[in-house]
Structure 1
């Protein structure tokens, strides 16, 4: 049975794809450190969790102060499904927010939303301390603060194995350099969407770092500080999240409706495409063979960034096939 016939009779199964982007689990679950389980501290931690969540979903540090969110700030319980305590370390309050009511409140406030399908980052993180230099590898205990920080800021993070060959690549010169070629070559086996290079060092009891982010053909960079490695990791991940969010976050009522055509469709790809287009309110318009047309609401640049997560390529207008619908954007797997 052909692809379009399966769509028509509703027999589509949702399979997973070997793609780089990740569906970030726990996006609406926030942990905030506490020193006790007193009502006052729980209330303070709940407010902090709300701030963390809104920043995680919008990438905008000022979004939580939106006047339309005042009822939520006064009573966060209306969008909380449950909470509990995690013994840690560190001990923390775990707040589970309801995705439906949370998204509805943010959309009604006119805020941009960044969905759960996010670019996978491969983090090359080099620590310099009094004990020497070390590349943080997957499975090492020193990687745990990085993972917690990435989860806290809503970023899917992968780490290299930090074997001997990768230690030769993950040098301060390569991590601070503007040429990503050495890191990209060593990163191919991990299948990430973006490279994050961080060179951190300890100075007089404080941690400082310079970071670079490569995604597509663009580069971002910055510096961060922290009282310890955990605080430094959180600052780095926060900055990276705020740089990435504008690429993917969709603001209701600002973007325009347009038609998107995708070629090379299969059942598995349909499942993935549906997830990718969720933030854009994707609605199926037509299916013709292995071509599919969606109506979406979003800017062309945001759609390009989102579809790049599935390793899709834009089809030039002069190479596009004739279709009944005049799609403004055309992509192919």
Structure 2
């Protein structure tokens, strides 16, 4: 469906946007995908500062970054990727030693360019906010007094945040107050129906839920986990020699499940005309943040209905909008916007795949 924008509407759009964004600060935002900070900075443990050890740490750092950006191990064959794995130095902006770790800052532009040249599908910085319900023993607690829910500000929180940071996921933790401690039983966290957990998670504005039941036996740690993303869910089990390694393994599994919903392969993007209905002030502010991260531009405003244009894949647009609570509309559900207006007869037609969503 072609859509036109008059010069008068373009001016009005700027005026209305400034008013709406000014009012948006007065209301709380809805849940939406979060921006990941430090995505291109990787920390790897080292045993020395010898050149050989540094070279190996740089290779490990590149592999970690590759997992963050693709959600896949990519164990194979591209010559371009193999060369980068062997010598990632051209992508490194700087590195420094901090204690027993090497901190590597990769150049975002050069890295993305080289990976796309290798034909890889990449995952951007805008990612679903993940709420983690972790039931296990807090680090440093050697008493066998049963598992507890690890909440924000508690002893185990830094361990979980570091694991999420290492795997490129924006993490949120529950408060773990008395009510939530009573709620977070092994039965609640492992059941397929997440209704109770979803109700308890509503106040955290998360896009995905991850429930983990961790345990230790004879020095070996294991965990059963279940993850919900929109209408989809998955589960699994992992084992590790320490709690830190266990947390990293769980967050890695979560990343591998979530990433395919958002990666965009080179050349896979297409021109999309996105129509969103039922937009009020609060929802307009959310759309600007969410679609702005996807490079969308506002094309038309018609009451509570907005039209954007962007380059993406329909599957990625659906995934992004679903985590924000929108649902896709059938084309016959509502009358389409007027295709031509008297003021827009000399405007160019916007071509592209039409997608229609609403609240």
Matched, 1:83 2:99: no
Check whether the contact 2:294–2:310 (CA below 8 A) recurs between aligned residues: no
Partner of residue 155, structure 1: 169
Partner of residue 60, structure 2: 48
Q: How many residue pairs end up in the alignment?
A: 325
- Which secondary structure does the structure 1 equivalent of 2:332 belong to? helix
Q: In 2, distance between residues paired with 1:64 and 1:275?
A: 34
- Which secondary structure does the structure 2 equivalent of 1:186 belong to? helix
* Correspondent of 2:306 among 283, 291, 315: 291
Are residues 105 and 286 of structure 1, via their aligned partners in 2, closer, same or farther at CA, if it must alter by over 3 Å? Answer: farther
Partner of residue 109, structure 1: 118
After TM superposition, the structure 1 = structure 2 runs for residues 75-224 of structure 1, keeping only pairs within 5 Å, are 75-87=87-99, 91-127=100-136, 130-224=144-238
Q: In 1, distance between residues paired with 2:196 and 2:240?
A: 28
Matched, 1:262 2:262: no
Check whether the contact 2:44–2:60 (CA below 8 A) recurs between aligned residues: yes
Partner of residue 277, structure 1: 294
- Which secondary structure does the structure 1 equivalent of 2:237 belong to? strand
Check whether the contact 1:265–1:291 (CA below 8 A) recurs between aligned residues: no
TM normalised by structure 2 equals 0.82
Matched, 1:5 2:31: no
* Correspondent of 2:29 among 18, 26, 29: 18
Once the two structures are TM-superposed, the CA of residue 9 in structure 1 deviates from its matched residue by 8.2
Q: In 2, distance between residues paired with 1:284 and 1:185?
A: 34
RMSD: 2.7
Matched, 1:332 2:347: no
Q: In 2, distance between residues paired with 1:296 and 1:61?
A: 27
Q: In 2, distance between residues paired with 1:217 and 1:107?
A: 30
Are residues 209 and 270 of structure 1, via their aligned partners in 2, closer, same or farther at CA, if it must alter by over 3 Å? Answer: closer
* Correspondent of 1:306 among 320, 343, 351: 320
Once the two structures are TM-superposed, the CA of residue 283 in structure 1 deviates from its matched residue by 5.7
Are residues 117 and 6 of structure 1, via their aligned partners in 2, closer, same or farther at CA, if it must alter by over 3 Å? Answer: farther
TM normalised by structure 1 equals 0.88
Higher radius of gyration, 1 or 2: 2
Partner of residue 3, structure 2: none
Which ranges in structure 2 are unaligned for 5 or more consecutive residues?
Answer: 1-7, 340-349
- Which secondary structure does the structure 1 equivalent of 2:212 belong to? strand
Deviations 1:61-99 (A, max 9, x none): 116753222342343122111111223xxx311111111
Once the two structures are TM-superposed, the CA of residue 293 in structure 1 deviates from its matched residue by 2.9
Deviates more, 1:289-298 or 1:147-156: 289-298
Once the two structures are TM-superposed, the CA of residue 318 in structure 1 deviates from its matched residue by 1.8
Are residues 34 and 173 of structure 1, via their aligned partners in 2, closer, same or farther at CA, if it must alter by over 3 Å? Answer: same
Which ranges in structure 1 are unaligned for 5 or more consecutive residues?
Answer: none
- Which secondary structure does the structure 1 equivalent of 2:156 belong to? helix
Q: In 1, distance between residues paired with 2:163 and 2:121?
A: 22
Matched, 1:231 2:245: yes
Partner of residue 248, structure 1: 262
Check whether the contact 2:132–2:173 (CA below 8 A) recurs between aligned residues: yes
By relative contact order (CA 8 Å, sep 6+), the higher-ranking structure is 2
- Which secondary structure does the structure 2 equivalent of 1:141 belong to? coil
